Chains A and B, each alone.
Chain A
Amino acid sequence: MSTAFSGKGMRQSNSWRWLSMGQAPGAFNMALDEALLELQTQGLSVPTLRTYGWSPPCLSIGYFQSAREDVDLEACQHQGVDMVRRPTGGRAVLHHRELTYGLVAPADHPLVSGGIKESYAKISRGLLLGLARLGVEAQAERRGKANAWTGACFEVASDYELVGRGKKLVGSAQLRRRGVLLQHGSLLLDFDPEGLLELLVLPRVVSRQRAADYLRGRVGSLYELLGREVSLQEAAAALREGFQESWGITLAPGSLTAEERARAAELEAKYRSPEWNLRK
């Protein structure tokens, strides 16, 4: 395979670092995703695929989403659910019983290159093979837009989301910055539509029960599709194997560098700040 270039023109090998991380607060998760993105634009980090979970439960909203209009902040506080604004776009996701994957690489790296559409397709292949290893048959497809009643992400299927048995299983969002891409996405291990809706602002005409039934019909989880609990570790291992199969490479387990930890710690302050989280 040909070698790929980082943002600074440094030659990088085709090896990818694999980080299977545990649960952490939303502010840390977003800070680390952004730290890896930023450091790669400077040629100071390597292509990475990581998985992680969220604790405490956390509602994340898209970069341009209005926290004031879409989120019931009091309900979040009351329920002990964190709220964080992602650096990526899209809408609200409740991160609780789920696995999140985060991929950071130069946009021209052969394993993700070809533009936005193609990068989604290349990454989807790894995700789909990972899901297959769990026993889930899914496809990358577009089901057609539904009415957006709420700020909830999983309501609206868009291109290259992953759907199994007609329900959205994996929602992803991508950010491109200075020739590097960050794509992260959420695979639900279990789904609680009522729990999610309690945290969002709904139009008055919509009843929570009706909205919950609607979401239940459109959003799936591994628990629902497989009829059993799947742990974060099992899902992470399956995704790793899926990407290895899709890309034909070994994902070498690694660790964060001191620089990455330091930058993530600095950015964590931003992701805890009202200036950032409540900017809209």
Chain B
Amino acid sequence: MHPKDYKYTKGHTWVKVAGDVATIGITDFAQKELGPVLFAEVAAVGDSVTQSKSCGSVESDKATSDIMCPVSGQVLEVNEEALNAPETLNKDPHAAGWLLKVRLANKGELNHLMSAEDFEKYIAK
């Protein structure tokens, strides 16, 4: 359910790293909790983001949630397609529903994140 090669935050977001580029999105757990996503927004290209702080917002019928940033760095790209069709975050949260790509400031930060296995335990509590 949650890809094994991704890492996860307590804010229910995921990150996939390739070289020094991190792709970020909300997890399947988060989209199930929220229900149909109505709106989403993220930091802009060029912005700095910080681990554990907000890098955007999603709103569903039930609640609004900050998107907890898994890593610090600079925003390289945002997924305009998904932002304009937020149901993508429900349908395919781990792939097509990616939200932003960030150039990593500090790879060591990845050690503060959870593995898929730890994340599954965390959300099961």
> Which residues from chain A sit less than 8 Å from chain B, CB to CB?
62-64, 87-89, 115-117, 120, 158-160, 173-179
Contact = CB atoms under 8 A, between A and B. Distances in A.
B62 A117 contact: yes
B34 A89 contact: no
Interface residues of B, number: 20
Contact of B63 (A64, A176, A178, A179): A176
A173 B57 CA distance: 14
Nearest to A160: B62
B39 A115 contact: no
B64 A116 contact: no
B54 A64 contact: no
A176 B64 contact: yes
B79 interface: no
Contacts of B89: none
B5 interface: no
Nearest to B62: A116
B19 to A, nearest CB: 28
B65 A175 contact: yes
Given A116-B34, A177-B54, A62 B10 contact: no
A158 B38 contact: no
B33 A64 contact: no
Contacts of B66: 175-178
B38 A64 contact: yes
**A89, A117, A175: which has the most chain B beta carbons within 10 Å?**
A89
**A158, A160, A174, A177: which has the most chain B beta carbons within 10 Å?**
A177
A229 to B, nearest CB: 33
Contacts of A88: 64
A160 B60 CA distance: 14
Interface in B28-63: 33-34, 38-39, 41, 52-54, 57, 59-63
A141 B17 CA distance: 43
B34 to A, nearest CB: 7
B11 interface: yes
B64 A63 contact: yes
Contacts of B63: 89, 116, 173-176
Nearest to A115: B33
B64 A173 contact: yes
A174 B59 contact: no
A174 B63 CA distance: 5
28 contacts: A63-B57, A63-B59, A63-B64, A64-B38, A64-B41, A64-B64, A88-B64, A89-B38, A89-B59, A89-B64, A116-B33, A116-B34, A116-B62, A116-B63, A120-B62, A173-B63, A174-B64, A175-B64, A175-B65, A176-B65, A176-B66, A177-B54, A177-B66, A178-B11, A178-B53, A178-B54, A178-B68, A179-B11
